[in-house]
Amino acid sequence: MDNPIDITVTEEDTTLPPQQYEYLDHTADVQIHAWGTSLAEAMEQSAVAMFAYMTEIQTVDSTDTHDIEVEGHDLQSLFYQFLDEFLFGFSAEPFFIARKVKILEFDREANKIKARGYGETFSLDKHPQGTEVKAITFSNMQIHEKVGRTDVYVIIDI
């Protein structure tokens, strides 16, 4: 190929040794950036962003609802719990994937959220398999609240 002299590939050359390798510790993550006019809106968007990583989100119909209720000890842990609870509702019964998320009650004093997902039960017949979301992380989590515009950043393990 790029050899100055012609190399004849002999049968011995191409005899394959046994496989003596393996792959370990596959890790991957992706950072979600979501925004809105309020923290609630930015968080709603981040939950949909998580679900949109799992499938082609436009294949999900909002025919059903799934409600969650979470509590944190501060804003960051509340954000974590909020996403984690929706992830849990996807990974186990009712295997719910949301096309839209609405925060119904947001108690900033008590760090509590009640939220509703609009969507349906995940089905491989209907929803193309995207990437598995393994976990929500606290890694470099950011919440930037300004008047009229809030940005949130969260890294999820995939």
Q: What distance in Å separates the CA atoms of residue 96 and residue 84, rounded to the nearest whole number?
A: 13
* Residue 52 tokens, joined: 């949109």
Rounded to the nearest whole angstrom, what is the least distance from the CB of residue 93 to its own copies in the complex? 8
Residues in binding contact with its own copies, number by CB under 8 A: 54
Q: Show contacts with its own copies in window 39-78 (CB under 8 A).
A: 41-42, 44-46, 48-49, 52-53, 62-67
- Binding residue for its own copies, selected from 27, 109, 124, 146, defined by CB under 8 A: 27
The secondary element (H helix, E strand) that includes residue 59 is none
Rounded to the nearest whole angstrom, what is the least distance from the CB of residue 71 to its own copies in the complex? 18
- Binding residue for its own copies, selected from 79, 99, 115, 122, defined by CB under 8 A: 99
For residues 113 and 105, the answer to whether their CB atoms sit within 8 Å is yes
Q: Which of 130, 82, 132 is nearest to 105 (CA)?
A: 82
Tell me: does residue 30 bind its own copies (CB under 8 A). Answer: yes
The secondary element (H helix, E strand) that includes residue 79 is helix 75-91
Rg for the chain (alpha carbons), in Å?
22
Q: Which is nearer to its own copies, 17 or 124 (CB)?
A: 17
Piece of the chain touching its own copies by CB under 8 A; list 36-44, 77-85, 105-113, 122-130: 36-44
